[in-house]
Amino acid sequence: METSQVLIASPIGVLAVLCAVAAFFFLLAQVTDSRLFKFLPPLLFIYATPVFLSNLAIGGHTLIPNKSIIYTGLSQYALPVFIVLMLIKVNVPAIVKVMGKGVLVMLMGTAGVMVGGVVSYILVHGWLPEDSWKGVGTLAGSWIGGTANMLASKEILEASETQFTLAIVADNVIYIVWLPLLLMSRDYADKFNKWARVPADRLAAMDAAAEMHAEEDHAPTMQQYLYLAAVVIGVAAAGHGVAPPIAGWIASLSPDLANIFSETTTRILFVTTIALFLSTTPISRLPSSTAIGTALVYVFVAGMGARAEISGLGDAPVFVLGAFIWIFIHGLFMLAGAWIFRVDVHSVAIASAANIGAAASAPIVAAHHRPNLVPASILLALLGYALGNYLAPLTGHLARIAVGQ
């Protein structure tokens, strides 16, 4: 789209619009306290609004462009930054201490996402464009970890804007159906727990562990923000520095692997791995990292919406049908995990929310089931973030291989 047809074309102006869109819908949700945002999360509107702002021409002009240095800058620089910000808070020992075998059920659910993605793609790929496995990998990112993983998987797999849009649509349609089911499951706790043969002392032990787990809550200092900036930007810079030679070395070993481990893939996996290592060090105690990272995620989502092309939405019904098959398989894996590990319905619902809805939904489900598990639910969602950048792209490639593409 030509600059003369765009009302706001300057990079700083475009960034201001993206930030304003992200802030507006969270403000609207907070001020109105509308139930709408419990079933249609702000994420959907934050993505959809820039789609219209960059595609809908009024009087021959759109508000913002489809292409901008801001969008490429977010992909190259903001993405590794918010990956580090979110992953340095992963606390695996605390999750295991509180949730116990609920962690194993979540991992079963993660396996269900991977298997479900491959099986559903096998069933519906004949009605979809050939590169739709990239959309599968992108959606798997959301369902294994969260929006940050969805964005990272999109970049790793080099999915088109059309495939990303299909993943966003399917993600939100399934969310509208799946979240109420997870909330309603509390009403069947006694019957479910009897079926799953849950030990009588499990809930009491879980509650006791939750009471012992206390999150630090204090105002960040200026020095801590500087330390955080130095660590996060340093890791992101290291990722940019080492990715080209590592990707080149892999390509020299195997041309086939070069198609999988591109510079972008190598950079994201390197940053993910370093951030997980840092989560085991005192750096994990730096405050506010997850909140800042999540804020960047939403600005990034707005930027993805501005780049979107709406021409491929005719494939949405088939892609969404595949997503329903997919979530059904995930549900079966969750039930199998509950029965094998003898885990209560509350833990199962929270574990599924940590996969499918991530940090935005897991606390909602936890608050409805057992409010003292809200901190553990956030940690469980962060565990999904830790896994997503590795397993979601793998799911996409497994789907591709399964149908011979």
- Identify which of 146, 168, 205 has the alpha carbon closest to the alpha carbon of residue 353: 146
**What is the predicted pLDDT for the residue at 215?**
53
**What is the predicted pLDDT for the residue at 360?**
74
The answer to whether the beta carbons of residues 273 and 390 sit under 8 Å apart is no
Kind plus residue range of the DSSP H or E element containing 34: none
* Single-letter code of the amino acid located at 40: L
* Single-letter code of the amino acid located at 90: V
- Identify which of 16, 285, 266 has the alpha carbon closest to the alpha carbon of residue 155: 266
Residues contacting residue 297 through CB under 8 Å, at least 6 positions apart: 82, 86, 147, 148, 151
**What is the predicted pLDDT for the residue at 148?**
85
**What is the predicted pLDDT for the residue at 211?**
62
Angle at 247 (CA atoms; ends 243, 253), nearest 5 degrees: 150
**Helix or strand or coil: residue 124?**
helix
Structure tokens at 198: 């849950």
Residues contacting residue 46 through CB under 8 Å, at least 6 positions apart: 21, 22, 25, 298, 301, 302, 305
List the pLDDT tens digit at each of the 405 positions of the chain: 444 488 898 999 999 999 999 999 999 988 888 777 776 778 878 988 998 898 888 877 888 998 899 998 988 888 899 889 888 888 777 777 777 888 899 999 999 999 999 999 999 999 999 989 999 999 999 999 888 899 999 999 999 888 988 998 899 889 888 988 998 999 898 899 999 998 877 777 776 666 655 555 567 888 989 999 999 999 999 999 998 999 888 888 877 777 777 888 888 889 989 998 998 898 988 887 888 888 888 898 899 888 876 666 678 899 999 999 999 999 999 999 999 999 999 999 999 999 998 877 888 888 888 887 777 788 888 888 889 999 999 999 999 999 988
Q: Whole-angstrom Cα distance, residue 359 to residue 374? A: 10
Provide the whole-model pTM: 0.83
Residues contacting residue 217 through CB under 8 Å, at least 6 positions apart: none
The answer for 388, left when phi > 0, alpha when psi is -120 to 50, beta otherwise, is alpha
The answer to whether the beta carbons of residues 315 and 166 sit under 8 Å apart is yes
**What is the predicted pLDDT for the residue at 260?**
73
The answer to whether the beta carbons of residues 201 and 193 sit under 8 Å apart is no
Q: Whole-angstrom Cα distance, residue 59 to residue 147? A: 35
The answer to whether the beta carbons of residues 330 and 355 sit under 8 Å apart is yes
Structure tokens at 55: 């595609």
Buried b (16+ CB within 10 A) or exposed e, 21-58: bbbebeeebeeeeeeebeeebbbbbbbbbbbebbbeee
**What is the predicted pLDDT for the residue at 2?**
45
**What is the predicted pLDDT for the residue at 1?**
41
Length of the chain as a residue count = 405
The answer to whether the beta carbons of residues 92 and 383 sit under 8 Å apart is yes
Structure tokens at 133: 């496995």
Q: Whole-angstrom Cα distance, residue 208 to residue 116? A: 35
Cα separations in angstroms, 156 against 59, 316, 375, 388, 393: 38, 22, 31, 12, 7
Q: Whole-angstrom Cα distance, residue 211 to residue 297? A: 31
Q: Whole-angstrom Cα distance, residue 87 to residue 234? A: 15
